[in-house]
A and B are shown apart, each in its own frame.
Chain A
């Protein structure tokens, strides 16, 4: 066996499997930033400064270099920087450096947040902008797109790298379940998980209805489906079509998780959406395109940043200050019913959008149908 014989196939996969257009990527970039602001939310790091100092117990890393929690001002500054960087990304100004900056400041902020013991599942979402920085998603619907001196270029490989990262992340969760005994027939692990969440007041939506379900084979099936999905994603990354089908299954999986366990991973949905053919929504004659072209100027970006900073400085929102993020889901942090229903609404909307975009005909086809009689007449 010669490893090198696989090199052309690997090279083709890296550069040609996950192709996209800069216009499609530009539309996705706008959706991504809006999603980050309103659905998944920009993290609220400053609330960590309210914790007492003795609880500061960082793992190995940046956090261990200092002995106590950073000041409120420092953490608040990180948030403001992230807000500014996201606004820059929305307008597509210096996109590559802005994306790298987002990941850098996210990781710094999370380091301090995680120093209190709880490590959350945001790493794929945090590295996502840094990888996308090299994709050239700031070349359309953006300030960079108008600037001929912009140093960005379009690359397909970041999409392949994110697919690999997502597949590997899911694989690690699956493999730990296998090692932990999820697949043993005498361990209803999914049931244990469900009970654990139920006892932790995840009792909304359909959670209660499953509590009485004691049929062991049902729970074993749930164990196997979970592990199969998590382990399987990495084997689908070879083909875009397979990967998209797998992502659709994952969205269904998230829907069931919200319904029965009340767990939502909102930040992951937007990464799944990155693989949709966004170019279907591009039309250079559309009002949206012209509006984007008009609005993406440095002056407008500056005004928007000033307005957002004024909002942050003068309208100190107690809701956002006590919430984890700026997400609409976090508006009422204690209201479990609201959170559960919002999460359900978001996952259903994502699922519908996913299906709609997959099966929507590309603009060229639609155009072709329209002009076909004229073409025939001309010919």
Chain B
């Protein structure tokens, strides 16, 4: 059976035509195949890192938050929005206009915050918790040095208000509560 399979494969591929091409054409053909395989594999890898991993983490995150009495459902929505929308809080804000690498700060902050919310709720502590504390201090210090009038909490509340204003129009609530769109934003 195996022998028959090989013969069938050989018939399908018909390598004789391929072998007729010049060495240069053959090598370029192989480069194209390699390039396609590389692109597909990197895409699949990034998909696993970006989607499969959060898909495993997020149900726990959602469950823990909903069971926690201290966090209401609207806060949960906002947290989701906050944690997963990079520029929601500071990216384009005038406060960070002159700050080097502002985007990276926001992304890292969101990442750490998401992790910290999960880990706070499960009473676990690790290196990320320490990192988050360090980051919060850095964040507040930067904001204070730039504005001298607003601390991080006020800034976050200020932005939350913007979201709530729109939520009354039932735009954001639909988007935030929509699991599919939410997953996409990861």
Contacts and interface: CB of A to CB of B under 8 A. Distances in A.
B107 A4 contact: no
Contact of B101 (A3, A15, A116, A165): A116
A195 B172 contact: yes
Nearest to A192: B175
Interface string A160-201: 010011001000100011011110100111011001100111
Contacts of A180: 180-181, 183-184
B29 interface: yes
B11 interface: yes
Contacts of A195: 166, 171-172, 175
A54 B107 contact: no
B111 A117 contact: yes
A192 B181 contact: yes
Contacts of B138: 52
Contact of B108 (A57, A157, A182, A184): A57
Contacts of B149: none
A2 interface: yes
B77 interface: no
Interface in A323-343: 333-334, 336
A254 interface: no
A94 interface: no
B35 A164 contact: yes
B25 A164 contact: no
Contact of B14 (A5, A165, A333): A5
B62 interface: no
Interface in B20-70: 21, 25, 28-29, 31-32, 35-36, 39, 43, 47, 49
Given A3-B14, A334-B94, A55 B104 contact: yes
B76 interface: no
Interface stretch (A43-51, A85-93, A364-372): A43-51
Interface stretch (A6-14, A268-276, A294-302): A6-14
A304 to B, nearest CB: 29
Contacts of B91: 200
B78 interface: no
B86 A118 contact: yes
Contacts of A161: 31-32, 35
A11 B100 contact: no
15 contacts: A3-B13, A5-B14, A48-B101, A52-B134, A113-B104, A116-B101, A116-B104, A118-B103, A161-B31, A180-B184, A181-B180, A188-B174, A192-B178, A196-B185, A334-B94
